[in-house]
Structure 1
Amino acid sequence: MATLRNAAQTSQPLPAAAVPAEDLIWTGCYTADNGGQGTGIGALRAAADGTLGWLGVAATADSPSFLAVHPTLGMVYAVGEAARTVTAYRRSGGFALERTGPDWPAGDAACHVAVDPRGRFLVVACWGDGQVLLYELDGDGGISARFAAAPSTLAGRPSRAHATLMLDDGRVMTTDLGHDLLRVWNYVPGQGLQLDHEVALPRDSGPRHLVQHPGGDVLVVTEYSVEVAVARRSSGSGTFSLAGVFPATRAGAAAGDSAAEIALSADGRHAYVGVRGSNRISVLEVDADAARPVADFPSGGDWPRHHLLRGARLHVAHERSGDVVTYPLDPESGLPGEAMGKVEVASPVALVPAGLRAGSAGQP
């Protein structure tokens, strides 16, 4: 099992000289309005060995709990979870971010934001009221229009939209944790998202976050059942269907556990699932037939809310213990070695790279 050695803990800011985008990682956090200790969007710098150092607060904001980065411009988008907003920021030198334009209204508990790979729009998922909102972007990356997608109408349970994935075929997939649905959308300029089709998951599984495998399958981590569901696309119609549901952990879920994030290695051979409660990261082997858990290891802190895979390093953000722990990964087995670093970050709930170094892995 991986254990934390006596790695340096960084709480003092590093020098604020210009930082290459490929070395920057933005951190979302909870602030006082959501019971957290953070003050806004933070910035971490990755050293040559993959360890992280704290740069400082890039922009003060209320509970910027998830972030997304424009594919070509120095723009960062943050949801304000308690404030029910989405806001655009522009990098203004060093690691500072400058607010650009007004706060745009979002829905209740806006918890996730993702940007179109072509920079045309962003999508916000709202856990509190189930809204899926598309915001068009202008040529400078500013938000210019807002469109609400059709709501899920499943009776008897509240809708809980939770995350968005930009698919490799240009469509958009969102999760509905309350209605146990994957929803696939088409973007129509000037109108927003139009529903293509839906995929039902087992009742009360709670689809939360998702990632697309290089082979085209979508792997979805389920918060409530602590499993990995695989959605497979038909080669003919392009319609996704449920291909299987697999345990997310080798040892099984413990009482009080809830799954959080899923990330894939660059070659698609291994998936990593964070489990809050028992505070574990689970490693799964992925092939054309299944996702098989092979090992669980302690995450190194309390409440692993989010994690980021960059090359052969796994960074795990712990919301409650207020830190990010870094593990080296064996490229063949996918298993972690001894933790190589730990940096203090107040109430971190998201890790998003400002830019991906060539050959690095993971979902921004």
Structure 2
Amino acid sequence: MATERIAAPSSVLLPTAAVPSRELIWTGCYTADGGGRGIGIGALHAGTDGTLRWLGLAAAADSPSFLAVHSTFDVVYAVGEAARTVTAYRRSGDFGLEAAGRGWPAGDAACHVAVDPQGRFLVVACWGDGQVLLYELDHDGGITARFAAAASTLAGRPSRAHASLMLDDGRVMTTDLGHDLLRVWNYVPAQGLRLDHELALPRDSGPRHLVQHPGGSVLVVTEYSIEVAVVQRSPESGTFRLAGMVPATTAGALPGDSAAEIALAADGRHAYVGVRGSNRIGVLEVDAGGSVVRPVADVASGGDWPRHHLVRNGRLHVAHERSGDVVTYLLDPVTGLPGEAAGRVDLASPTALVPAADMPSPTR
């Protein structure tokens, strides 16, 4: 199928009918303060054929490099990576966003945000200084308080917190690139995160992003070693252990490579890992329990520096930070492999693709 290229104007909002939230994808980016060309949080429309269309700028913001959405309310949370902030935005109109109060202080290079499924809090990971920060939320998704979690300390090596995952048992797991650690936390209201236990991964592997399989295992992509760590929870103690490390690609790591995102297909049968440098997507098969993972194919990502990707409705959307585009692939329902590119949208310095909460469009 021919690839369609659609320009994304920097500030013009395209006229459109009200867009249902289930068809909206919010986009993060780097702006000038982060060395990028973006201007804020954007909005994409996912058509019935899975291809994307640029809607316009949802909210001007400084380097909103990662986003998360509230599970109940039409609220988007964005880190300001260079500004060291996290800000809540409420939906306004068809796809606009308005800041809901001030930006709250975060740590150096705040690079990831995730929201508790029950809407009680959000967690921000800061790559620059290793901080893990919890922000409590009020009854309609506003930020009300900030708590710093205990720091990871390891002599001679800087802590580099990079992501958090809300586990299915209510706990939180975070990654630390610098200390090669997974840290598991319990939430204590009005106090923040209390450390439950830690799990060390192989030295210099660099755990970056992570996802939980429906079977309970957590799959962690390692930025430096370009692998997927499979960690499993003991049914007796609840403690996680390392079950194995597998290559994230069939061809192995190439010079200049660094892994970025990991995402699962809806049925959990395949995982997808973005590899920057050689610009590949590693496709891996995953067994029903999520404990056995095997790389099956490497596919060209279709652009330069695949920083983030989203698997949604049988499509794979890949955001390329350096070439400034999002490329969409139709996934084979049996093999899980991406086919020929089905569409391409220009997007300045994209860093995140996050679906809007599945709820009716606002009337205000």
TM-score category, normalised to shorter length: over 0.9
> How far apart are the structure 1 equivalents of 2:259 and 2:94?
35
Match runs of 1:63-78 below 5 Å: 63-78=63-78
- AA paired with 1:305? R
Contact 1:23 1:355 in 2 (8 A): no
Contact 2:5 2:346 in 1 (8 A): no
Query: 1:361 — aligned with what?
Result: none
Query: Does residue 49 of structure 1 match 2:49?
Result: yes
Query: Does residue 177 of structure 1 match 2:170?
Result: no
The runs of at least 4 consecutive aligned structure 1 residues that moved more than 2 Å come to 4-17
Tell me the C-alpha RMSD between the 2 structures. 1.1
Give the Å deviation of 1:128: 0.1
More off after superposition, 4-13 vs 102-111: 4-13
> How far apart are the structure 2 equivalents of 1:291 and 1:317?
24
CA deviations 1:37-79 (Å, max 9, x no partner) are 0000000000110000000110000000000000010100000
Query: 1:210 — aligned with what?
Result: 210
Of 315, 321, 324, the residue aligned with 1:322 is: 324
- AA paired with 2:6? Q
- AA paired with 1:293? P
Give the Å deviation of 1:356: 4.7
> How far apart are the structure 2 equivalents of 1:213 and 1:199?
18
Give the Å deviation of 1:6: 3.1
Query: 1:5 — aligned with what?
Result: 2
Contact 2:77 2:86 in 1 (8 A): yes
Contact 2:8 2:56 in 1 (8 A): no
Contact 2:283 2:296 in 1 (8 A): yes
Query: 2:362 — aligned with what?
Result: none
TM-score, with length taken from structure 1:
0.96
Match runs of 1:189-208 below 5 Å: 189-208=189-208
> How far apart are the structure 2 equivalents of 1:342 and 1:174?
33
Query: 2:23 — aligned with what?
Result: 23
Give the Å deviation of 1:11: 2.9
CA deviations 1:106-139 (Å, max 9, x no partner) are 0000000000000000000000000000000001
Structure 2: stretches of 5+ with no match in the other structure: 360-364
TM-score, with length taken from structure 2:
0.96
The secondary structure found in structure 1 opposite 2:65 is strand
Query: 1:220 — aligned with what?
Result: 220
> How far apart are the structure 2 equivalents of 1:63 and 1:16?
26
- AA paired with 2:201? L
The secondary structure found in structure 2 opposite 1:184 is strand
- AA paired with 1:304? P
CA deviations 1:237-269 (Å, max 9, x no partner) are 110010000000001111000000000011111
- AA paired with 1:348? P
Give the Å deviation of 1:10: 3.9
Query: 1:360 — aligned with what?
Result: none
Contact 1:14 1:53 in 2 (8 A): no
- AA paired with 2:262? I
Of 298, 306, 309, the residue aligned with 2:308 is: 306
- AA paired with 2:105? P
Contact 1:10 1:342 in 2 (8 A): no
> How far apart are the structure 2 equivalents of 1:277 and 1:8?
23
Query: 1:157 — aligned with what?
Result: 157
Give the Å deviation of 1:155: 1.5
The secondary structure found in structure 2 opposite 1:101 is coil
> How far apart are the structure 2 equivalents of 1:355 and 1:25?
9
Change (3 A) 1:281 1:356: farther
Contact 1:284 1:291 in 2 (8 A): yes
Aligned-residue sequence identity (percent) comes to 79
Give the Å deviation of 1:290: 2.2
- AA paired with 1:315? H
Give the Å deviation of 1:292: 0.7
More off after superposition, 8-17 vs 285-294: 8-17
- AA paired with 1:342? R
- AA paired with 1:72? T
> How far apart are the structure 1 equivalents of 2:309 and 2:358?
15
Contact 2:261 2:307 in 1 (8 A): yes
> How far apart are the structure 2 equivalents of 1:93 and 1:6?
31
The secondary structure found in structure 2 opposite 1:255 is coil
The secondary structure found in structure 2 opposite 1:261 is strand
> How far apart are the structure 2 equivalents of 1:137 and 1:172?
16
CA deviations 1:182-202 (Å, max 9, x no partner) are 000000000000000001000
The secondary structure found in structure 1 opposite 2:157 is coil
Give the Å deviation of 1:311: 1.7
> How far apart are the structure 1 equivalents of 2:306 and 2:237?
38
Give the Å deviation of 1:154: 1.6
- AA paired with 2:310? L
Contact 1:279 1:301 in 2 (8 A): yes
> How far apart are the structure 1 equivalents of 2:26 and 2:63?
14
Give the Å deviation of 1:164: 0.5
Contact 2:62 2:83 in 1 (8 A): yes
Give the Å deviation of 1:105: 0.3
Match runs of 1:148-297 below 5 Å: 148-287=148-287, 288=289, 289-297=291-299
